Structure 1
Amino acid sequence: MRLLVLGGTKLLGSAVVRTALDAGWDVTTLTRGRTGAPPPEVDARSGDRNTSAGLAALGDDTWDVCVDTSGYVPRFVALGAEALAGRVGRYVFVSTVNVYPDWPDEPLTSSSRVHDCPVDAGPDDGDYGYLKSGCERVILDAFPGAATINRSGLIFGPQDNIARVSWWVQRVARGGDVLAPGRPDQPLALIDSRDMAAWMLSAPPGVFVVNSRAGTQTFGSLLETAREVTGSDARFTWVPDQVLLDASVESWTEMPLWMPAPLSGHAWDMPVDGAYDTGLTIRPLASSLADVWEWVREHGLPAPEAGERPSEQEQRLTAEREQEILATVAG
């Protein structure tokens, strides 16, 4: 099998590349070369997929499958779709559950409404989820009957460039008194990038929400498993949502993965049966976190990417602030 990956050096793209190589596929990537290089076995092409000049690096080759991990703007995705029309057997587009405008305020169902973004929208025409919905329409129109839309949940694993789960693994590994947000039985639903990659390589055409099932993971199981795989002496103090809100702790950015009630009640419950019915399997959390810990020990947490605004990594809860809150709770 011949695979083209648009992207291929960050969290999910690198997992797709490695999974395909391990299965004996011939892999081509198109990247800008800003975040590392693909493995040496890859036919690595250099070019900006958002420009005609960059897409020219693909020549006139053909592929059985294209996995698009880097499309964010409909206008640019349309440029690539036009260039690849008739040259790929199946096009897998990585979208997001953020295409649902009512989530997480309302639970997701198979009939939940989706943003109505036009296919010619540009980078300044809307936010992330809105633009992704336009990208989906581009691909569904360009590859009728041959498009797989992956509305992904929260992805983690080795090479996590946003450092949500890996931040927690490192914090637990440091040990001592750990501020744990909310309740230990709060459901989570996270998916290892390698499990998502394996599913995408064999998934049929269609539109799918791809994530683990709600309730198979909890915040408590995440932290307890992190303690087990790192061998730390961490002691967890579960701090109620309202205490954290009163302390002006920013959910998701300052405290990764934490969503206070009532948002947390709907955030993780997603209609994922279609993905499971078409072959999605989820490895044990301990296996994933052990590999995350190995990566963190070797490479550390990723450096924040340059931008006009502070990234999530730059807003994480500091050790000093964590201890101040814990002192308040103890007192």
Structure 2
Amino acid sequence: MRNVLVIGGTRYFGKRLVALLLAAGDRVTVLNRGSSAPPPGADILVADRNDEASLEAALGDRTFDVVIDQVLYTPVQAAIARRVFAHRTSRYVMTSTVEVYEYEDSPTPVPESAIDPRTVAVDLELPWSDPEFLDAHYGEGKRQAEAVFAASPDFPYAAVRVAHVLGGADDFTGRVTHYADRLRTGEPIAVPPRNHPATYINVDEIAAFLFWTAGEDFTGPVNAASHTPLTTHDIVTALSPTTPPTYRTIEVGETSPFSFARSYAMDTTRATGLGFTFSDTGDWLARALAESTN
């Protein structure tokens, strides 16, 4: 039985991850600010992960075999975590994002080496505590958070770069609903002049991949995505096969949530070589979209 700490873990694929850990017989502790209860069977610690003293006090002398951090968004949070958990865990798994590649534009899927966190500059003085700044710099915050761990790791760490997640009745993002609403009303869907495919993963599959990663010993970044990227049109037609969509091209400005003006697919060769087999998006797309709109 492992002793596992999950920071976050009370919604979407985080709660699925906790359920998998509990089903495997692990002792699971969930740490959050107390706003959400953990799944039944998990212990709870209440602390503000942005407050180092609060985090230290909540943890006390506890140690863990592995920490899985679901809500790490900034280099400041990573620096706090590195200090606090330096002697409290032998493995740290950070949930990162495909958005770390936001400046990449490649006709082929992007490997982890495209963004080496050891070469990413870290600026702890940026206004990371400002929600508007953080929202506008989501990919940069994740990139710099990875860089903090990579620069001087106090424990073995892995950064799981997660594709766009689809599926689940508890999908809180509203992205699938955006398309469903427009199909229902006949409102055009906004796309860029050249709409590139993007990389996706099912909500249950990313929970399974994080669970698997917690039990492995590899380190550094790893891409997590189902095979076969999808375009906006793929998603819309799967969402409502009998309703022909209409599109509005946007040269400048905000397009629909799953529309991209550059290549946005991830190469999963590393994960496959390490022993994890990803599904194909066609295996679950229709079911995932139905779950998110029911």
> Which TM-score tier does this pair reach, normalised by the shorter chain?
0.7 to 0.9
Counterparts of 2:157 and 2:58 in 1: how far apart (Å)? 23
Q: Deviations over 1:75-109 (max 9, x none)?
A: 22221221111322211111223334632478634
Aligned pairs for 1:54-203 (under 5 A) are: 54-55=54-55, 56-100=57-101, 102-104=103-105, 108-113=110-115, 116-118=120-122, 120-124=124-128, 127-141=137-151, 143=153, 146-158=156-168, 159-168=170-179, 170-171=180-181, 175=184, 177=186, 179=188, 187-203=197-213
Matching residue within 258, 271, 275 for 2:271:
275
Match of 2:37 in 1: 37
Match of 1:235 in 2: 243
> How far did residue 70 of structure 1 move?
0.8
Alignment length (residue pairs): 275
Counterparts of 1:177 and 1:101 in 2: how far apart (Å)? 31
Match of 1:323 in 2: none
State the AA in 1 paired with 2:269.
D
**In 2, are the aligned partners of 1:7 and 1:30 still within 8 Å (CA)?**
yes
What SS is found at the alignment partner of 1:209?
strand
Counterparts of 1:162 and 1:86 in 2: how far apart (Å)? 36
What SS is found at the alignment partner of 2:48?
coil
CA-based RMSD: 3.2
Match of 2:232 in 1: 219
Q: 1:97 to 1:67 in 2, by over 3 A?
A: same
Q: 1:110 to 1:189 in 2, by over 3 A?
A: closer
Unaligned runs of 5+ in 2: none
Query: Equivalent pairs: percent with the same residue?
Result: 26
Counterparts of 2:207 and 2:38 in 1: how far apart (Å)? 16
Q: 1:25 to 1:296 in 2, by over 3 A?
A: farther
Answer with 1 or 2: which has the greater Rg: 1
**In 2, are the aligned partners of 1:74 and 1:131 still within 8 Å (CA)?**
yes
Match of 1:311 in 2: none
Q: Deviations over 1:165-199 (max 9, x none)?
A: 3433x437x7464645669x963421123211211
Match of 1:305 in 2: none
Counterparts of 1:76 and 1:197 in 2: how far apart (Å)? 22
Unaligned runs of 5+ in 1: 229-233, 298-331
> How far did residue 128 of structure 1 move?
2.3
Q: Deviations over 1:274-319 (max 9, x none)?
A: 123331423655646535644653xxxxxxxxxxxxxxxxxxxxxx
